[in-house]
């Protein structure tokens, strides 16, 4: 079913559909290779924030309409640079996506450039078709890249690969993107959607408590170098009171489908 888009969510260039525990967010400007306007950044923030507050939604898939993921920011809005209100809205959208409490998957084909890489990098997992082209291109416009997107790029790619892409603005193919760790899996265009569906089904079949705890703790390791004791205690308490382990073991021993009891609040 489609989400009711009203008020600040009413932007037909960003569409969200919810099918049971799976939400799909589609960047919907195919005639512009899904280039992002400022209103779309605001809509991404609003949609993802609303989905994060819905405990029924377990997985978020991000994709582009048509043959492209996202060609980056709409350059016509950047004549004065990506600063001020634009920078605030852009930052909030990417942080909302990065902080979504459940697993997020970027489903990539065609252009994934500039802001497209920022959106994909804010997702947990990036699955790409072999027709995808990637680039981080601020050096072509004299832009100082937003620090949140830059930090994510360095964490994913390492310093050298990030510098190479940032210094040159060169576009790279999906094979190279796989080699440097920008994407996690590479498939043919025809196999992409089936593989994403399979991956989503596998995630849904597993413990959402384990996934939420893993995401929170991994992100803390990235930020702080370790998992804080308070975070460990929080998730251990959630595990102990949730009944997830009892249900998981019982289902395994009985050779029956598992019925996970935990839902994020």
- 31: domain CATH number is 3.90.226.10
Mean residue pLDDT of the chain comes to 93
Q: Is 2 inside any structural domain?
A: no
Tell me, yes or no, whether 259 lies in a domain: no
Domain of residue 240: give its range. 207-254
Q: What is the pLDDT of residue 10?
A: 54
Please tell me the predicted confidence (pLDDT) of residue 3. 39
Q: Which band of pLDDT confidence, cut at 50, 70 and 90, is reported for residue 175?
A: very high
Query: Using 50, 70 and 90 to split pLDDT, how confident is the model at 4?
Result: very low
Q: Nearest 5 degrees, angle CA 248-CA 252-CA 253?
A: 120
- Region 208-214: mean pLDDT is 97
- For 177-201, the pLDDT digits (tens) are 999 999 999 999 999 999 999 999 9
Domain-ending residue, one of 165, 181, 204 = 204
Q: Is residue 185 located within the same domain as residue 154?
A: yes
Could you tell me the CA-to-CA distances from 233 to 61, 221, 247 in Å, in that order?
Answer: 30, 15, 21
- Whether 197 and 213 map to the same domain: the answer is no
pTM of the model: 0.93
Domain co-membership, 199 together with 230: no
Are 196 and 212 members of one domain?
Answer: no
Is 260 within the bounds of a domain?
no
Q: State how far the Cα of 249 lies from the Cα of 145, in Å rounded to an integer.
A: 48
Return the pLDDT at 6.
40
Whether 112 and 94 share a structural domain: yes
Across-strand partners of 36? 73
* pLDDT score of 79: 61
**Span 123-130, average pLDDT:** 98
Residue 120 lies in a domain: yes
Which ranges constitute the DSSP H helices of the chain?
38-52, 84-98, 115-121, 147-157, 159-168, 174-179, 189-205, 208-224, 229-242, 244-254
**pLDDT interval class at 2 (50, 70, 90):** very low
Q: Is residue 261 assigned to a domain?
A: no
Percent of the chain with pLDDT over 90: 86
Per-residue pLDDT, 253: 98
pLDDT at 166 over 60: yes
User: Is the pLDDT higher at 74 or at 125?
Assistant: 125
Say yes or no: 148 and 20 in one domain. Answer: yes
The arithmetic mean of pLDDT across residues 108-137, rounded, is 97
Please indicate, yes or no, whether residues 72 and 200 belong to a single structural domain of this protein: yes
Which residue, chain included where needed, has tokens 């582009």?
A: 64
Instruction: Write the pLDDT tens digit of every residue in 45-101.
Output: 999 999 999 999 999 999 999 999 999 988 887 766 666 888 899 999 999 999 999
Q: How many domains in the chain?
A: 2
Name every residue whose Cβ is closer than 8 Å to that of residue 74 and which is 6 or more positions away in sequence.
32, 35, 36, 37, 38
């Amino acid at each position: 079913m489609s989400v009711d888009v009203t008020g600040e969510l009413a932007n037909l260039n960003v569409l969200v559909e919810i099918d049971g525990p799976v939400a799909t967010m589609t960047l919907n400007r195919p005639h512009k290779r899904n280039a992002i306007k400022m209103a779309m950044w605001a809509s991404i923030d609003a949609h993802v924030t609303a989905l994060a507050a819905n405990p029924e939604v377990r997985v978020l898939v991000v994709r582009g309409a048509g043959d492209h993921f996202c060609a980056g920011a709409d350059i016509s809005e950047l004549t004065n640079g990506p600063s001020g209100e634009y920078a605030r809205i852009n930052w909030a959208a990417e942080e909302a996506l990065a902080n979504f409490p459940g697993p997020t998957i970027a489903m990539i084909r065609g252009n994934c450039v500039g802001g497209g890489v920022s959106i994909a990098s804010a997702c947990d997992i990036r699955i790409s078709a072999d027709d995808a082209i990637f680039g981080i291109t601020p050096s072509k416009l004299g832009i100082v890249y937003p620090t949140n997107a830059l930090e994510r790029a360095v964490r994913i790619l390492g310093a050298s690969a990030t510098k190479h892409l940032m210094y040159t603005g060169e576009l790279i193919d999906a094979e190279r993107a796989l080699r440097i760790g920008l994407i996690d899996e590479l498939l043919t265009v025809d196999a992409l959607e089936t593989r994403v569906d399979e991956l989503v089904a596998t995630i849904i079949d597993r413990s959402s408590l384990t996934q939420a705890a893993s995401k929170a703790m991994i992100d803390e390791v990235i930020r702080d170098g370790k998992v804080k004791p308070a975070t460990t205690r929080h998730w251990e308490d959630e595990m102990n009171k949730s009944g997830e382990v009892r249900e998981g073991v019982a289902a395994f021993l009985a050779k029956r489908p598992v019925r996970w009891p935990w839902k994020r609040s």
